[in-house]
């Protein structure tokens, strides 16, 4: 069901809508080197494929998961040969954030001299995952999660397409099943299509139709499509929301973000460490019971393990959210450290020195 033309591409109107710069570049075949950054299932690879069909350049594809420097050198050598014949090469690298610095450096000079035009796709923030030299030679285009209406339109298109979709199976999707499918897809078109296909293949066939109800969708989907990555942007964004909710004394909001992290497979001891830090940094002397409680939660999670470990984590989260807040510990320490770094390292005053030193001096 991957679209082959811009006219069939759903979503990302700010990038490829009528009159937008990227659309004009594709239609004029003057595509610059670019990084496509966005959540899974939002059209990054599809957009690269559309560019491949629309451009007159040779299109090469690599996955950073399996490719290495040798693959890059081979493609560059082939691109140089084409360049001597006047033909350009577009290189699409999926999951470009998985390339290490050496691999990214290997393609840098060829992007710079125009041997290849790079199109990279990533789910991670390129400011952190793509080296600055390469980033400065490419445009970054940000893709956003699809709306429910857009995912629904993609589902309807798949149901009606007899050549590339499920039209030949005569799938009858209940209204509540469609609503559930779109909701659980969470803006991810790929997740929606995969679940729809599995549901259609496993649905009961009657009178030539395949009836897909809500229960079948739930069985096929199992759970909402997650966008949590334990080492990526979602990791940092979610822990930030967790801490800021506790600072705002929003106890239920903090527990919500806690649940999001646990559901995403976050290390519970990472969460516990943040609670211990918060107990001193944000609650501090306003409630001196907070730190022992947070440490107890850390020990309890380590002892009990998951999934029951969510109890002490939620317990500490609720307590710290509702506790009075004081930044005095951090403020006084920062002031002391500022004095240490900005003033002379004077000797310790005599009256504050170790007792044995005092006796020696008195003798």
Among the ranges given (90-99, 168-177, 223-232, 250-259), the one the predictor scored with the smallest mean pLDDT: 223-232
Is a pLDDT exceeding 60 seen at residue 360? Answer: no
Question: What pLDDT band is residue 116 in, cutting at 50, 70 and 90?
Answer: very high
pLDDT tens digit sequence for 43-93? 999 998 888 888 878 889 999 888 888 899 999 999 999 999 988 899 999
Looking at the structure, give the CATH architecture of the domain made up of residues 148-221: Orthogonal Bundle (1.10)
188 and 145 Cβ atoms separated by less than 8 Å: yes
Question: Residue 209 has what pLDDT?
Answer: 85
285 and 328 Cβ atoms separated by less than 8 Å: yes
Question: Quick count: other Cβ atoms within 10 Å of Cβ 97?
Answer: 20
Structure tokens at 176: 């509540």
Question: Residue 197 has what pLDDT?
Answer: 92
Q: Which of 40-54, 269-283, 340-354 has the highest mean pLDDT?
A: 269-283
Structure tokens at 264: 């995403």
Is a pLDDT exceeding 90 seen at residue 30? Answer: no
pLDDT tens digit sequence for 129-153? 888 888 888 999 999 889 999 999 9
pTM beyond cutoff 0.85: no
Chain region(s) in the chain for CATH 3.40.50.300: 6-142
Question: Residue 218 has what pLDDT?
Answer: 87
Calculate what percentage of the chain has a pLDDT beyond 70.
94
Of the two residues 223 and 208, the one the predictor is more confident about is: 208
Question: Quick count: other Cβ atoms within 10 Å of Cβ 286?
Answer: 14
Encode 54-88: b = buried (16+ Cβ within 10 Å), e = exposed: bbebbbbbbebeebeeebbeebbeebeeebeeeeb
The residues, any chain, with a CB within 8 Å of residue 8's CB and separated by 6 or more, are none
The residues, any chain, with a CB within 8 Å of residue 126's CB and separated by 6 or more, are 35, 37, 96, 97, 120, 135, 140
Question: What pLDDT band is residue 286 in, cutting at 50, 70 and 90?
Answer: very high
Of the two residues 222 and 294, the one the predictor is more confident about is: 294
Question: What pLDDT band is residue 363 in, cutting at 50, 70 and 90?
Answer: very low
- The CATH classification of domain 6-142, taken from the options 3.40.50.720, 3.40.50.300, 3.50.50.60, 3.40.190.10: 3.40.50.300
Chain region(s) in the chain for CATH 1.10.8.60: 148-221
Give the mean pLDDT of the chain.
88
Question: Residue 225 has what pLDDT?
Answer: 56
Q: How far apart are CA 351 and CA 347, in angstroms?
A: 11
Is a pLDDT exceeding 80 seen at residue 97? Answer: yes
SS3 string, the chain, reads: CCCCCHHHCCCCHHHHCCCCHHHHHHHHCCCCCEEEECCCCCCHHHHHHHHHHHCCCEEEEEECCCCCHHHHHHHHHHHHHHHHCCCCEEEEEECHHHCCHHHHHHHHHHHHCCCCEEEEEECCCHHHHCCHHHHCCCEEEECCCCCHHHHHHHHHHHHHCCCCCCHHHCEEECHHHHHHHHHHHCCCHHHHHHHHHHHHHHCEEECCEEEECHHHHHHHHCCCCCCCCCCCHHHHHHHHHHHHHHHCCCHHHHHHHHHHHHHCCCCHHHHHHHHHHHHHHHHHHHCCCHHHHHHHHHHHHHHHCCCCCHHHHHHHHHHHHHCCCCCHHHHHHHHHHHHHHHCCCCCCCHHHCCHHHHHHHHC
Chain region(s) in the chain for CATH 1.20.272.10: 233-322
Q: How far apart are CA 278 and CA 314, in angstroms?
A: 14
Torsion (CA) 315, 233, 67, 118 in degrees, nearest 10: 170
Rg of the chain on CA atoms, in Å: 28
Question: What pLDDT band is residue 326 in, cutting at 50, 70 and 90?
Answer: very high
- Which CATH fold would you assign to the domain 233-322? Zinc Finger, Delta Prime; domain 3 (1.20.272)
pLDDT tens digit sequence for 228-242? 565 566 778 889 999
Is a pLDDT exceeding 90 seen at residue 219? Answer: no
259 and 242 Cβ atoms separated by less than 8 Å: no
Q: To 10 degrees, what angle do helices 251-263 and 268-278 make? A: 150
The residues, any chain, with a CB within 8 Å of residue 97's CB and separated by 6 or more, are 64, 122, 123, 124, 126, 129, 130
């Amino acid at each position: 069901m991957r679209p082959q033309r811009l006219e069939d591409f759903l979503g990302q109107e700010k990038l490829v809508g009528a009159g937008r710069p990227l659309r004009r570049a594709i239609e004029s075949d003057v595509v610059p080197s670019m990084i496509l950054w966005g959540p899974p299932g939002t059209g990054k690879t599809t957009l690269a494929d559309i560019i491949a069909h629309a451009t007159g350049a040779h299109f090469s594809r690599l996955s950073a998961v399996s490719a290495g420097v040798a693959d890059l050198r081979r493609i560059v050598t082939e691109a140089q040969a084409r360049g001597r014949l006047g033909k350009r090469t577009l290189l699409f690298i999926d999951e470009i954030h998985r390339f290490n610095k050496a691999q990214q450096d290997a393609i840098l000079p060829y992007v710079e001299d125009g041997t290849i035009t790079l199109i990279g796709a990533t789910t991670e923030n390129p400011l952190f995952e793509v080296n600055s030299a390469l980033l400065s030679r490419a445009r970054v285009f940000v893709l956003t999660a699809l709306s429910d209406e857009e995912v629904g339109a993609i589902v309807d298109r798949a149901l009606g397409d007899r050549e590339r979709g499920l039209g030949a199976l005569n799938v009858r999707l209940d209204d509540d099943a469609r609503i559930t499918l779109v909701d659980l897809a969470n803006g991810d078109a790929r997740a929606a299509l995969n679940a729809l296909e599995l549901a259609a293949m496993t649905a009961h066939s009657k009178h030539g139709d395949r009836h897909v109800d809500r229960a079948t969708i739930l069985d096929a989907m199992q759970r909402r499509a997650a966008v949590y990555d334990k080492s990526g942007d979602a990791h940092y964004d979610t822990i930030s929301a967790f801490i800021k909710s506790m600072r705002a004394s929003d106890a239920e909001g903090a527990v919500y973000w806690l649940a999001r992290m646990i559901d995403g497979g976050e290390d519970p001891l990472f969460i516990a460490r943040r609670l211990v830090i918060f107990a001193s940094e944000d609650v501090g002397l306003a409630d001196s019971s907070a730190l022992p409680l947070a440490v107890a939660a850390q020990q309890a999670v380590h002892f009990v393990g998951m999934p029951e470990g969510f109890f002490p984590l939620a317990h500490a989260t609720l307590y710290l959210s509702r506790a009075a807040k004081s930044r005095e510990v951090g403020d006084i320490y920062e002031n002391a450290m500022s004095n240490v770094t900005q003033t002379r390292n004077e000797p310790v005053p005599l009256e504050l020195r170790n007792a044995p030193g005092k006796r020696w001096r008195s003798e």
